[in-house]
Structures are given as structure tokens and as C-alpha cells.
Amino acid sequence: MEQKRINKIGRADVVWNFCASLLKIASSLLLLPVILKKFPTDIVAVWSIFSSISVLTYLLDFGFNNSFVRTVTYIFSGCTTLKRSGYETLDCDSPVDYSLLKGVIKAMQWFYKRAAAALFLLLVCAGTPYLLSVLENYPAIRNEVLLAWAIFIVNNTLILYTLYFEGLLQGRGYVKEIKQIIVVSHLAYLALAIVLVFAGCGLVALVTSQVSATIILRVLAHRLFYDRDTLARLRASECSDPKAVLSTVFPNAVKIGITSLGSFLISKSAIFIGSMFMPLAMIASYGITMQILSSIYSVAGIYVSTYIPKITASRVRADKGPIMTIVCRGWAVSAVIYIVSAGGLCALGPYLLELLGSKTMLLPGAMIAVAAVISFLEMTHAMAGNVLLTKNYVPFFIPSIVSGLCTVALLLLFMNFTDLGLWGLILAPGIVQLAYQNWKWPLEVYRDLRC
């Protein structure tokens, strides 16, 4: 039953994944004209900083979510033993080991309680002083931003504390169902945010709406996974040792966490470093542009990400045929979506914002074009990395953190010793990634699947 669910991941799951992602983007795009028209440039810049800081929520997951999702897929594919590297290969369908599943769930809960506490302390003790330093020259918005910041901390702590609900559903093959829940939560976010923004609640409107959407998402996800049959089977099963599960998952999770830290430094350090050297108005333009490109990146990569549980199950059966089909088709779909969307942004984005009377403009066309190319190469090697992860080993954790540190160093070099300005924020990560990661991991996937 459960193996069939994973193996039947197909077009409906892809469609719902697209719908959820498009609605996420649409909610941002529908709010964007309102935000740009209603909010002053300083607040728009702060919102861009908030959006970048929110990545910390998933950074402090430190790779455990991907490892747990993969582990849950192995269990629902019939595996009865977990390995630190590699995976158990099965010749036929096997029943689900609910004792092992129960141990994995306990391990997930143990980890995310502590991760959420660490995130809360980090945001309060490190994030607040950073934000206060940014606001030193902007006393008029200080109180509004600090209130929004408090709500933002609560929301992101809650997201991380309950992140394992989504991991359980994705690992079980409930891709379509979790995306339907995400659609519901985004609709709630959009409706509430529009009402509160027009009610004059400013930045607080956005973070309050996010909290409401998070609660809806987590409650529905919990109810979907813990159906009557699953609850009965889990209650009737002995619990495998959660510590043994954590010790098995830990090595690759840490490697993914290091990779995530490197990715964070590559993609997000520019806005933090830039905000210390340039006016918030320039950072606002940079932040909005990169936010839109990031949304295009996310949607374009949906096809392959939807099929990750199916690719993992194919690994367990030692069947590379479906993996090759998914990867080739996924790359083609992603390339078309990205090129069309990014081309439209370059051609029409600045004019549309001007027509809307936005107080914040996008970057100039040439900068958008270069940033789009860099983001496309990033998307391509990220998809390759996700495919390699289904083998339960992490070959790219050292290159990722080295690339992240090199990006920070190059950004500081550009900001302190050149007049590149915004060009420096765009070019630094692109130069570093092109040197190795952009070509290395797609080549590794080709070598892995050609045999």
C-alpha cells in the first residue's frame, strides 16, 4: 500500500506542487504592488532583511529534515535497517516497520525541540542587536519594526519546532496532499495580509498573517499523517531507540547542514554585507529583484523535487531507468520555465513597477540579466545535488562551505576596495560558484546515471 503510494507519484503531484509554489509566488506578487505602494522604501528594505533572515529557520534544521525525509521514504519502501551511508536494497515489496518509524518520529521530535530553542535564542540575542544597528539612522520606523520583529521570531520558532510534520508526509509520498494543505495556508495568508495592510497595520500585517498561515499548515499536516490506522499501528508497536536513529542520521545530516550554511553564505550574505555599506534604498531594489528571481528558481525546479521520494524508492530497487527519465525531463521543464520567466522579468519587470507607482524599483535590466544567469546555474547544480542525495551520501558539503566563505571574502573585498556597489553583490557569488559547483554536480549526476 505505502510502496504503491510512493511509486505512483506522478503528474497530479507535480501539478499540485506547481499550484502551491505558484500560489506562494502569486501571494507575494499580489502583495508586492500593495507593499511597494503602501510601504516606504525603508520598510521594504527591512522586509527584504526579514526574508533573508527567515532562511535561518531552515539553516538551523542543519540538514536533518532532508535526512529524515529520506529515512521515512526508506521505511515506507520496506527497509528495516538504516545505514549511515548508502541504503538497503530490496528485491520485493516489504511491510512497513512501524517500530522503526516510531523511533524515527521520536528522534525528529527530540531534535526539533532543541533546534527551535536554539533559533529563538539566536534571533533574540544576535538578530535583535543587528536589527537595532540597521535602524540607528531610521528612528521613525523603529517601533513598528521591533514589534514586527517580535512576531517574526515567534513565527519562525514555531515553523522549525513543527517542521517534522511536513517531512513525515513528504517521506511517505503524500506530495499532492501536503501541497494542497500549503495552498490552503497561502490563501489564508494572502487574505489576512491584504485586509491588515489596507487596515494600516504596516509591516506587522505581514508577519501576523504568516503566523496564522503557519498554524493552519501545521494543524492540517498533523491530522493528515496521523490517520486512525497509522495511530493504531504506532501505538501497538515498540519504539526503536531514537538515539540509534539519530546516530545513524547524524553524519549525513551534519554534512547537509554544512552545505546549507555554505548555501546561505552564498545566496544571503550579500544583503547583510551590502546593508552595512550601501543605503537601504539600494538594498531594497536588490532585495526585491533577488526575491523575484528566487521565486522563479523555486518554481522552475519543482518537477525534479516532486519526484525525489520516487527517485529514492528507485534507488532501493536498484532501478536507474526511472531516475534518468525524471532527471532529463525535469531539466528540460525547468530550463523552459526559468528562461521564459526570467526573460519576462528582464523585459517587463521595471516597467510594470513604474506603472504601479512603486516607491521601490527593480535593479537595472543589465543587472537583472546577469543575476538571472547566475541564478539559473545555481538552480541546475542544486537539482543535481538533490538527485545525488537520494544515494544517502553527501559529496558536496566541503565545496559548499568553502564556496560560502569565498563568497563572503569576495563581497568584503568588493565593498571595501572597489566601486562596484550593487554589481559586487551580484557578481561575487556568481564568480565563486562558476569556479566549481556550477559544473561539478551536474557532471556527477551524468556519470552516476549513464551506466
Q: Which residue has the cell 519543482?
A: 302
Half-sphere exposure of 374 (CA within 13 A, CB side): 22
Task: Indicate the residue type of 450.
Answer: R
Most confidently modeled range among 219-228, 230-239, 312-321, 424-433:
424-433
Output the pLDDT for position 407: 94
Task: Indicate the residue type of 38.
Answer: K
| pLDDT category of residue 359 using cuts at 50, 70 and 90 | low
pLDDT at residue 7 tops 60: no
pLDDT at residue 10 tops 80: no
| pLDDT category of residue 291 using cuts at 50, 70 and 90 | confident
Q: Stretch 12-29: mean pLDDT, rounded?
A: 69
| Count of beta carbons in the 10 Å neighbourhood of residue 106 | 17
φ, ψ for residue 53, nearest 5 deg: -65, -30
| pLDDT category of residue 450 using cuts at 50, 70 and 90 | confident
Q: What is the 3-state secondary structure (H, E, C) of 263-279?
A: HHHHHHHHHHHHHCCCC
Q: What is the DSSP string of 11-23?
A: HHHHHHHHHHHHH
Q: Stretch 76-83: mean pLDDT, rounded?
A: 76
Percent of the chain with pLDDT over 70: 90
pLDDT at residue 425 tops 90: yes
- Give 208's contacts (C-beta < 8 A, 6+ positions apart): 151, 192, 196, 201
Output the pLDDT for position 93: 63
Output the pLDDT for position 2: 53
pLDDT at residue 83 tops 80: no
Q: Which three cell numbers stand for residue 17?
A: 506542487
Output the pLDDT for position 89: 63
Task: Encode pLDDT of 151-194 as tens digits.
Answer: 999 999 999 998 888 888 887 878 788 888 888 888 888 888 88
| pLDDT category of residue 301 using cuts at 50, 70 and 90 | confident
- Burial pattern 384-405, b for ≥16 Cβ within 10 A else e, equals bbbbbbbbbebebbebbbebbb
Whether 240 contacts 103, CB under 8 Å: yes
Q: Stretch 404-427: mean pLDDT, rounded?
A: 93
What residues make up the domain containing 412? 2-449
Q: Which three cell numbers stand for residue 360?
A: 521601490
d(CA 360, CA 77): 50
Q: Stretch 362-383: mean pLDDT, rounded?
A: 91
pLDDT at residue 234 tops 70: yes
More confident of the two residues 10 and 222: 222
More confident of the two residues 373 and 246: 373
pTM above 0.95, yes or no: no
Output the pLDDT for position 440: 93
| pLDDT category of residue 80 using cuts at 50, 70 and 90 | confident
Output the pLDDT for position 295: 80
Task: Encode pLDDT of 109-165 as tens digits.
Answer: 898 999 899 999 999 998 899 888 888 877 778 888 899 999 999 999 999 998 888
More confident of the two residues 398 and 78: 398
| pLDDT category of residue 283 using cuts at 50, 70 and 90 | confident
Q: Stretch 86-105: mean pLDDT, rounded?
A: 75
The structural domain count of the chain equals: 1
pLDDT at residue 5 tops 60: no
d(CA 212, CA 196): 12
